[in-house]
């Protein structure tokens, strides 16, 4: 607490020196689902209480719109002062174009005072910090405990058990796996996990870095395993017309039993269902390959063209504080990025435990891949889910895209 008040005092002093009253601070946020939206608004209120001099405006955008609009904002002369974003390649892309403000004066030397050392590489580009993590979470196969209980199913550990579980669910009249691929990225979760379980993390990271052809035997194998589930009819039909939330509804209403999803699925679950939602680690496919996980980090950045950078930095310092991180994480059941905040609840402890016991982590396919390649890749995954037999032509086209994007000349 002392550190925190010190920070507040410092912030005040800083303000009085430059002598601004009622500085504006404009934050653009993608937290559009009701639960995170509310928690973030409260967090901003806490900031306002500490810094009454700031005139804070939060603009909220639907998640999918936000992703496409961010580039426009970063380029415009009246860019927002703070934006929510993702760590890793998706942040670096903008940093490399000079569109982000380095945060070295705030976090250069004390980044590790706040956050685990492992987060540093995901937050920097060329040795400069550009990103302040707020929270992180895990991915897992979410399932309805009550359905599993009713059918006497145990949580599957291996691929073979997983398929058996799907088969039993299907026979009992449930949709084994729900997914909404209208906005593509949900399919990338499947690709990540299958590739990590079959080929391991090194291979997967090379692939997302554009160093492995999509026509490689290893990649083909991923699609063979994926095809087993598709051909057996375990995925929900017409998934291309659902957003991830609409697909989650099938899980919440008890028509579907499982959903490979990030922890934030709890944000949209109705109250009476939340406690019936459990999750398990994505099944093991090859016993010789380590257990790797997707652990995306969410946070904030400051556009290079922001007009109120000082205010923005004060805000980011507040965001990094233990109090702010604890508040946000505990209300949403996520893991705080600040290392002095413990996991907020049982489910989060279980998630943290799973990550700590894993052999390595990555962000997410579209956070570790060049954005153009990611779009092409995710479209291809969805196309494959609809037309599994076209796998060869899909991968060939994807490889053509990779060669163009990474300027590989044969």
Partner 1 sequence: MRGKWWVPYAFLAPPLVMYSIWVLLPIFQTLYLSFTNWDGVSPSINFVGLSNFKRLFEDPYFVTSLWNNVKWLVGFTMISVPGGLGIAMFLNQKFTGSKVYKVLMYLPMTLSFVVIGQMWSWILEPQGALNSFLNLFGIHEIGWLSDPDIVTYSLIMAALWRQIPYAMVIFLAGLNQVPSELVEAAYVDGANSWQRFFHVILPMLRPATVVAITVNIIDSLRAFDIVYVMTRGGPFYSSSVMANYMYIQAFNNYQMGYGAAIAVIQFLITLGFIVIYMRNVLRREEA
Partner 2 sequence: MKKILFHAFAIILVTVWLFPFMVTLFTSFKTMDNLMTSRSWWLPPKVWHTENYLKAWKDANMSRYFLNTFIITIPAVLGTLFLSSLGAFALSWYRFKFSKVILMIFVGGMLVPFQMLLIPVYRLSIQLGIYNTYWGVILFHIAFQIGFCTFFLRNFMKTIPASIFDAAMIDGAKHFTIYSKIVLPLTVPALAALGILEFTWIWNDYLWSLILIQSDKYKPITLGLATLQGEWVTQWNTMAAGSIIAAVVPLVVFLMFQRYFIEGLTAGSVKG
- We find the least distance from the C-beta atom of residue 378 to partner 2, in angstroms, to be 17
β-pair type (277-280, 139-144): antiparallel
The Cα 385–Cα 260 span in angstroms is 15
How many helices (H) and strands (E) in the chain? 20, 14
The residues pairing with 23 across neighbouring beta strands, listed in sequence order, are 54
Overall size of the chain counted in residues: 410
Q: Does 237 bind partner 2 (CB under 8 A)?
A: no
- We find the least distance from the C-beta atom of residue 69 to partner 2, in angstroms, to be 6
- Provide CB contacts within 8 A for 139, sequence distance 6+: 189, 192, 193, 260, 261, 262, 263, 282, 293, 294, 295, 296, 364
Stretch that binds partner 2, among 45-53, 197-205, 245-253, 307-315 (CB under 8 A): 245-253
Q: Considering only residues 267-306, where is the footprint of partner 2 by CB under 8 A?
A: 268
Stretch that binds partner 2, among 13-21, 68-76, 136-144, 207-215 (CB under 8 A): 68-76
Q: Return the number of the residue (69 or 151) whose C-beta is nearest partner 2.
A: 69
Stretch that binds partner 2, among 73-81, 337-345, 366-374, 377-385 (CB under 8 A): 73-81
Q: Considering only residues 25-54, where is the footprint of partner 2 by CB under 8 A?
A: 28, 32-33
59 binds, among partner 2, partner 1, none (CB under 5 to 8 A by kind): partner 2
Q: How far is CA 364 from CA 39, 70, 88, 94, in A?
A: 24, 19, 9, 17
Q: Does 237 bind partner 1 (CB under 8 A)?
A: yes
Q: Does 76 bind partner 2 (CB under 8 A)?
A: yes
Strands (E), 235-364: 256-262, 277-280, 292-294, 297-301, 335-336, 360-362
The Cα 4–Cα 27 span in angstroms is 22
286 binds, among partner 1, partner 2, none (CB under 5 to 8 A by kind): none
The Cα 327–Cα 39 span in angstroms is 8
Work out which of 146, 161, 240, 358 binds partner 1, going by CB under 8 A: 240
Binding residues vs partner 2 (CB under 8 A): 28, 32-33, 57, 59-65, 69, 72-73, 75-78, 243, 245-246, 249, 253, 268
Binding residues vs partner 1 (CB under 8 A): 68, 71-72, 74-75, 97, 99, 181-182, 184, 237-242, 371-372, 375, 379-380, 382-383, 386-387, 397, 400, 404
């Amino acid at each position: 607490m002392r550190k925190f008040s010190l920070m507040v005092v410092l912030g005040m002093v800083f303000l009085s020196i430059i002598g601004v009253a009622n500085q504006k601070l404009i934050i653009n946020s993608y937290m559009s689902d009701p639960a995170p939206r509310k928690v973030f608004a409260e967090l901003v209120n806490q900031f306002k209480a500490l810094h009454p001099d700031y005139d804070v405006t939060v603009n909220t955008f639907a998640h999918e719109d936000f992703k496409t609009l961010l580039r426009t904002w970063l380029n415009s002369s009246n860019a927002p002062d703070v934006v929510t974003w993702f760590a890793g390649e998706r942040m670096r892309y903008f940093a490399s174009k000079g569109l982000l403000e380095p945060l070295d004066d705030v976090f250069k030397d004390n980044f590790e005072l706040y956050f685990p050392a492992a987060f540093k590489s995901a937050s920097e580009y060329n040795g400069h910090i550009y990103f302040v993590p707020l929270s992180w979470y895990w991915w897992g196969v979410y399932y309805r405990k009550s359905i599993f209980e009713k059918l006497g199913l145990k949580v599957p550990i291996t691929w073979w058990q997983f398929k058996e579980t799907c088969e039993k669910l299907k026979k009992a009249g449930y949709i084994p796996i729900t997914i909404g691929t209208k906005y593509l990225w949900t399919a990338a979760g499947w690709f990540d996990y299958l590739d990590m379980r079959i080929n391991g993390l090194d291979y997967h990271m090379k692939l997302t870095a554009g160093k492995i052809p999509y026509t490689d035997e290893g990649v083909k194998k991923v699609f063979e395993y994926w095809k087993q589930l598709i051909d057996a009819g375990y995925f929900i039909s017409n998934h291309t017309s659902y957003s991830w939330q609409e697909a989650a509804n099938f899980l919440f209403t008890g028509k579907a039993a499982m959903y490979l999803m990030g922890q934030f699925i709890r944000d949209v679950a109705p109250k009476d269902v939340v406690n019936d939602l459990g999750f398990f680690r994505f099944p093991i496919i090859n016993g010789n390959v380590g257990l790797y996980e997707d652990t995306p980090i969410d946070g904030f950045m400051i556009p290079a063209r922001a007009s109120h950078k000082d205010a923005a930095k004060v805000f980011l310092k507040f965001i990094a504080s233990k109090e702010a991180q604890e508040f946000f994480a505990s209300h949403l059941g996520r893991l705080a990025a600040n290392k002095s905040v413990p996991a907020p609840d049982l489910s989060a402890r279980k998630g943290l435990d799973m990550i700590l016991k894993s052999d390595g982590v990555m962000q997410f396919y579209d956070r570790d891949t060049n954005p153009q390649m990611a779009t092409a890749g995710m479209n291809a995954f969805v196309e494959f889910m609809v037309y599994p037999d076209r796998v060869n032509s899909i991968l060939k086209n994807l490889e053509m895209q990779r060669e163009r994007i990474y300027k590989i000349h044969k």
